[in-house]
Structure 1
Amino acid sequence: MDYTTQMDAAKKGIITWEMDTVAKKEGMEVETLRELVAKGRVAIPANKNHKALNPEGVGEGLRTKINVNLGVSKDCKSFEVEMEKVKAALEMKAEAIMDLSSYGKTAEFRKALIEMSPAMIGTVPVYDAVGFYDKELSDITVDEFFQVVEKHAEDGVDFVTIHAGLNRETINTFKRNKRLTNIVSRGGSLMYAWMELNNAENPFYEHYDRLLDICEKYDLTLSLGDACRPGSINDSTDACQIKELMVLGELTLRAWERNVQIIIEGPGHMAINEIASNMILEKKLCHGAPFYVLGPIVTDIAPGYDHITSAIGGAIAAANGADFLCYVTPAEHLRLPNLEDMKEGIIATKIAAHAADIAKNIKGARDWDNEMSTARQELNWNKMFDLAIDPEKARRYRKESTPEHEDSCTMCGKMCSMRNMNKIMSGKNINILRTDE
């Protein structure tokens, strides 16, 4: 192999199998894609040890991708239940799965996931560290943190979330600027606690080159986590969030010098009117690196419906430059999502991603909608079901309320505009009250 990472290959003018695969999926000239990867505008997370991977690109000019969070926890530790969710997520064509396992058979689950998944796999190694070492957080050493990262990389994880931007300067900014919800990032709060308890710098910031060594060795994409993402709309776009984003921009350039691919994680909870400007800020401060947003959730009042609040924010964010959406389920803020919650979260996020792709004029995005519109005009119900983002639900709704006339539905009956326009435009009479066809 004449290159170490996808970015290294791209800078050397080498077209990798992964680049060729992504270019074909996106309908993009492979040379254009190579240039974007070389500049860091597109990342292709593809660990050398993930043999089942069907690679995807994340970034400028590409379809908006979605990620599904899964994994075992202390309160919900069934390996089998989570694996059923994995299978469903893959059937629903999620491009990425993040294994957020924090208890029990984490290594076994991760390895099984990587072995079976064509989707890219991400993890947050700090979640795994406490259980892996069976030690209190404050007692974990710097070496042990890095050993867990390397273990995940060796297993074949394609991208890892590391909260390296939460350094002492960022913490001081946080302390000087009061928030309603403090630090809501789980990984960020764990790193904050470790730093405070040990009166130490963030090891992933202080020893960043050591982290880059691991990434370069395995072609592990670094997803720079947003420890200071807002956990309420009150806290968005504050000094703490922006300070961390500035640090992440500096870390991005250092990673690119080492040919390590970068994705930047972003907010969080955020009012609608702030979303577009936040996308501009990220792209500016982080030099056009791909942006991965968690929502944004646009209002804090809807537990049980946060797949909707997040889809609203996600669509606006992606239409204004975000490249990668983390799904949110109806169970957000309440419990670990079950299978049905996961499905609803995936559908809502896919809708947001597709709506944004239309706004961004992504090649071929409108074709799907135009096919659906044609099927509706033709009253071709089976084709409509086949084209639906959730065919199962569409078929079930139709079956649950059968119309008198097949060329209509129970909403409009023979007043159906499509039915009547088709008749009139073909020179026929319409028969709303008469019983003849």
Structure 2
Amino acid sequence: MNYTTQMDAARQGIVTGEMEEVARKELMDVSVLRELIAEGKVVIPANKNHTSLKACGIGQGLKTKINVNLGVSKDCCSIESEMEKVRRAIELQADAIMDLSCYGKTEEFRRRLVEISPAAVGTVPVYDAVGFYDKELKEITAGEFLGVAEKHAQDGVDFMTVHAGINRETAGRFKKNPRLTNIVSRGGALLYAWMELNDRENPFFEYYDELLDIFRKYDVTISLGDACRPGSIKDATDASQIQELIILGELTKRAWEKDVQVMIEGPGHMALNEIVPNMLLEKKLCHGAPFYVLGPLVTDVAPGYDHITSAIGGAIAAANGADFLCYVTPAEHLRLPTLEDMKEGIIASRIAAHAADIAKGVPCARQWDDNMSEARRNLDWQRMFELALDPEKARNYRSQSQPENEDTCTMCGKMCAVRNMNKVLDGSEPI
């Protein structure tokens, strides 16, 4: 069967192997899934060169997915340390791994990541451009920016963040509407600086059709980056953010015309009461394309605990339309995360995603909780550990404080309500 992308296949009525795999995982009729892909409401990031991939769907009616950010930087450039994080992220069931490398042997790390990862792999080409060409930002040409994107596509990257919405018009809106924290997106700031230094249009916007041709060739999903995402709750839902979102909606339709799959990236920092309206705005302005959010972080005053501020916002966002959560670690705003930071970020995001899936009525989401509740009623500790989102931590806590009676814990002992209700209902005497 002849098709170029998952969207192209879906529109031709073709069910691909990736669609069948996702449908099985999601307990969804494959014909329903195919139709959602054809409409752009679900994506399956699946580069033709990523041979170790286990297909994952993102979008309407599917389980909320989580992404993990990794990669080498100038100050922390150990490829082996980042590969250890990759292996751990896979063990912890991350759905996607995004390589944000911006220094050193980025190609080596990217290729090793794609080679072993069953999870979808994402990148941000503009991060890599400065190191790849070993040139000053101002000297990089439009063609060279596109060349990095093509190199990533050849290497098997499944989705790429492209900040095409920060064009001259959006930049003008930003200048007219000053912000407390300006532009906090690394890619957005680089492209804004490039435009200012060269007095030129954003190359990813100016040559968007050429970029789409590359993505179509390899079936790379375009993740339209939010260069103007708010970096503080003060800047949320402002003119710059909404201006860029309008542009992203227009770029979404242009990508779909070429059968390129699209995700939309969103905030950022945002007060609780603004999250639901923002989900509605994105889905409306971007025509139902899957929404990929960083957080949102619901307060700015908790450095060291931003995995929590992010999980609070992520649960609300996903329950109200977001499809994909980018994890945030306790080290956010402070340093490159360690292995333990990464784990805490993944677990917090998975909790948020699962809580949202219960609210959305995703098939079998509640069953997991019901099974855990049954194990608790039966005081079946081993079953509880098996069902725990983090079995390792649950077992460790239990082992650290042993009760006098094995069917209780050291919080309540013989006064355990579950134990005593079981005895009463069985006709035995409690305590």
TM-score category, normalised to shorter length: over 0.9
**Deviation for aligned residue 1:104:** 0.7
Q: Quote the residue 1:81 is aligned against.
A: 81
Q: CA RMSD of the aligned region, Å?
A: 0.5
Task: Give the Cα separation in 2 of the matches to 1:308 and 1:63.
Answer: 21
Q: Quote the residue 1:105 is aligned against.
A: 105
Task: Give the Cα separation in 2 of the matches to 1:427 and 1:305.
Answer: 47
Q: Quote the residue 2:42 is aligned against.
A: 42
Match of 2:422, SS state, is: helix
Q: Quote the residue 1:163 is aligned against.
A: 163
Partner letter of residue 116 of structure 1?
I
Task: Give the Cα separation in 1 of the matches to 2:430 and 2:14.
Answer: 63
Q: Kindly provide the CA deviation profile for residues 69-110 of structure 1, in whole angstroms up to 9, marking residues without a partner as x.
A: 000000000011000000000011101000001111100000
**Deviation for aligned residue 1:429:** 1.1
Partner letter of residue 310 of structure 2?
S
Task: Give the Cα separation in 2 of the matches to 1:236 and 1:363.
Answer: 33
1:408-419, aligned counterparts within 5 Å?
408-419=408-419
Q: Quote the residue 2:254 is aligned against.
A: 254
Structure 1 segments, 4+ long, off by >4 Å, are none
Match of 2:265, SS state, is: strand
**Deviation for aligned residue 1:140:** 0.2
Task: Give the Cα separation in 2 of the matches to 1:31 and 1:3.
Answer: 17
Normalised by the length of structure 1, the TM-score is 0.98
Residues 1:69 and 2:74 are matched in the alignment? no
Q: Quote the residue 2:425 is aligned against.
A: 425
Q: Quote the residue 2:95 is aligned against.
A: 95
Q: Quote the residue 2:301 is aligned against.
A: 301
Q: Kindly provide the CA deviation profile for residues 146-172 of structure 1, in whole angstroms up to 9, marking residues without a partner as x.
A: 100000000000000000000111001
Task: Give the Cα separation in 2 of the matches to 1:133 and 1:162.
Answer: 18
**Deviation for aligned residue 1:407:** 1.0
Q: Quote the residue 2:11 is aligned against.
A: 11
How many residues align? The count is: 431
Task: Give the Cα separation in 2 of the matches to 1:414 and 1:213.
Answer: 68
Q: Quote the residue 2:221 is aligned against.
A: 221
**Deviation for aligned residue 1:428:** 1.1
Q: Quote the residue 1:365 is aligned against.
A: 365
Q: Quote the residue 1:211 is aligned against.
A: 211
Q: Quote the residue 1:144 is aligned against.
A: 144
**Deviation for aligned residue 1:236:** 0.2
Q: Kindly provide the CA deviation profile for residues 109-148 of structure 1, in whole angstroms up to 9, marking residues without a partner as x.
A: 0000001110000000000000000001010001100100
Q: Quote the residue 1:274 is aligned against.
A: 274
Match of 1:334, SS state, is: coil
Task: Give the Cα separation in 2 of the matches to 1:329 and 1:118.
Answer: 22
Task: Give the Cα separation in 1 of the matches to 2:410 and 2:425.
Answer: 23
Q: Quote the residue 2:393 is aligned against.
A: 393
Q: Kindly provide the CA deviation profile for residues 172-217 of structure 1, in whole angstroms up to 9, marking residues without a partner as x.
A: 1101111100000000000000000000101111111001100110
Task: Give the Cα separation in 1 of the matches to 2:261 and 2:372.
Answer: 37
Partner letter of residue 314 of structure 2?
G
Partner letter of residue 138 of structure 1?
K
Q: Quote the residue 1:202 is aligned against.
A: 202
**Deviation for aligned residue 1:281:** 0.3
Match of 2:183, SS state, is: coil
Q: Quote the residue 1:57 is aligned against.
A: 57
Q: Quote the residue 1:434 is aligned against.
A: none
* Gaps in structure 2 of 5+ consecutive residues: none
Task: Give the Cα separation in 1 of the matches to 2:261 and 2:271.
Answer: 30
Task: Give the Cα separation in 2 of the matches to 1:15 and 1:241.
Answer: 37
Match of 1:269, SS state, is: coil
* Gaps in structure 1 of 5+ consecutive residues: 432-437
Partner letter of residue 289 of structure 1?
A
**Deviation for aligned residue 1:225:** 0.0
Match of 1:160, SS state, is: strand
Q: Quote the residue 1:435 is aligned against.
A: none
Q: Quote the residue 2:332 is aligned against.
A: 332
Task: Give the Cα separation in 2 of the matches to 1:410 and 1:299.
Answer: 35
**Deviation for aligned residue 1:3:** 0.5
Task: Give the Cα separation in 1 of the matches to 2:144 and 2:214.
Answer: 14
Match of 1:367, SS state, is: helix
Q: Kindly provide the CA deviation profile for residues 273-323 of structure 1, in whole angstroms up to 9, marking residues without a partner as x.
A: 000110000000000000000000000000000000000000000000000
Match of 1:354, SS state, is: helix
**Deviation for aligned residue 1:267:** 0.2
Partner letter of residue 358 of structure 1?
I
Task: Give the Cα separation in 1 of the matches to 2:343 and 2:52.
Answer: 23
Task: Give the Cα separation in 1 of the matches to 2:86 and 2:206.
Answer: 35
Q: Kindly provide the CA deviation profile for residues 391-437 of structure 1, in whole angstroms up to 9, marking residues without a partner as x.
A: 01101101111111111111111111100100011111112xxxxxx
1:309-324, aligned counterparts within 5 Å?
309-324=309-324
Partner letter of residue 174 of structure 1?
F
